[in-house]
């Protein structure tokens, strides 16, 4: 039995799908089992990181767990508690979803947000693997509305490139690490095959859709104001903008061979992701 937290999310939902395809027993954790949709055969349980008893119950009887912490300065204790819940329930292997740049001083505070959770995993006494993916290809789902409306898509990262990764590849690496001891004690930095700017991603999406997509560069101060207006804390907005500035300056223009080393094949590129998800942009 493998427990998947964040099971309704981008990476967790794909892990659930891939594990079920392999005939593995899966327990999916969500705060709202009535709303969540999973493939047949998945055991669905209610779990909230803030509710210790629910997470203890969710972890009981599992051999391995996929841990999706919540990103931000307010969630450090919940991240630690999530690891403790797995350890205390006797889970033997955990795979933690972290992020590229974690621990890099140049990234500022956002680069520290996953550190306590990573440290808790290392200190847990449980076999562990840490995944530090680059920017998800699926982040461009945020472009759906402007693309459908024929308007320009917003770009916060200037001409900074990133090793954009397909979430299906992050999930495939997680599945490998959940099912085999070969990845115990490893930290994988997961990227796509090449570093792409947002303009290059828009060009690839444009090619997949067969129509032009314009890009509009958004000043970070404007983006920060939008985040504050949406109710996010100044600390979170500042951290997030420091992350965007890091990308603009070329700090995240990294490509690694970790996906290929684990999966034995190259990672999928953004153009493939765009072709496979084109329908979402056309409505
Ligand atoms: N986006 C990127 O480019 C990127 C790149 C690198 C790393 N990351 C990392 O990826 C992680 C997010 O993963 P994701 O994108 O797969 O997730 P996601 O799509 O943002 O979904 C969040 C998940 O967390 C669950 N969740 C939220 N609050 C919860 C709570 N209090 N208790 C239990 N579950 C809760 C949600 O489940 P329910 O709503 O069903 O309860 C949902 O499944 C972050 O840690 C981020 O740092 C993201």
93: part of which helix (H) or strand (E)? strand 93-97
Tell which one of 3, 9, 166 to mutate to probe ligand 1, the residue whose CB is within 8 A of the most ligand atoms.
Answer: 9
- Does the C-beta of 69 come closer than 6 Å to ligand 1? yes
pTM of the model: 0.97
Cβ–ligand 1 distance for 47 under 6 Å, the answer yes
pLDDT for residue 109 is more than 90: no
Distance CA 217, CA 198 (A): 10
Q: Tens digits of per-residue pLDDT, 186-198?
A: 999 999 999 999 9
| pLDDT the model gives residue 168 | 98
pLDDT in tens, 111-146: 999 999 999 999 999 999 999 999 999 999 999 999
| Residues 6 or more apart whose Cβ sits within 8 Å of residue 21 | none
Q: What residues form DSSP beta bridges with 155?
A: 217
């Amino acid at each position: 039995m493998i427990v998947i937290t964040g099971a309704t999310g981008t990476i967790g939902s794909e892990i659930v799908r891939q594990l079920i395809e392999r005939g593995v027993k899966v327990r999916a954790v969500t705060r709202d089992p009535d709303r969540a949709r999973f493939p047949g055969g998945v055991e669905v349980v209610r779990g909230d990181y803030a509710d210790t008893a629910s997470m203890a119950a969710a972890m009981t009887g599992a051999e391995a767990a996929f841990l999706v912490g919540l990103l931000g300065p307010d969630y450090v204790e919940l991240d630690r508690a999530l690891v403790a819940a797995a350890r205390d329930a006797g889970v033997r292997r955990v795979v933690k979803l972290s992020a590229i740049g974690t621990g890099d001083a140049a990234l500022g505070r956002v680069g520290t947000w996953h550190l306590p959770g990573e440290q808790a995993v290392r200190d847990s006494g449980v076999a562990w693997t840490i995944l530090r993916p680059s920017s998800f290809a699926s982040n461009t789902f945020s472009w759906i509305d402007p693309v459908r409306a024929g308007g320009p898509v917003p770009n916060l990262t200037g001409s900074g490139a990133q090793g954009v990764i397909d979430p299906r590849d992050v999930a495939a690496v997680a599945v490998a690490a959940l099912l085999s001891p070969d990845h115990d004690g490893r930290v994988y930095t997961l990227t796509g095959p090449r570093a792409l700017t947002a303009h290059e991603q828009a060009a690839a999406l444009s090619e997949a859709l067969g129509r032009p997509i314009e890009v509009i560069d958004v000043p970070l101060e404007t983006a920060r104001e939008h985040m504050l207006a949406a109710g996010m804390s100044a600390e979170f907005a500042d951290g997030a903008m420091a992350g965007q500035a890091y990308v603009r300056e070329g700090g995240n223009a990294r490509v690694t061979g970790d996906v290929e080393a684990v999966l034995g094949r190259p990672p999928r590129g953004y153009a493939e992701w765009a072709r496979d998800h084109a329908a979402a942009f056309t409505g």
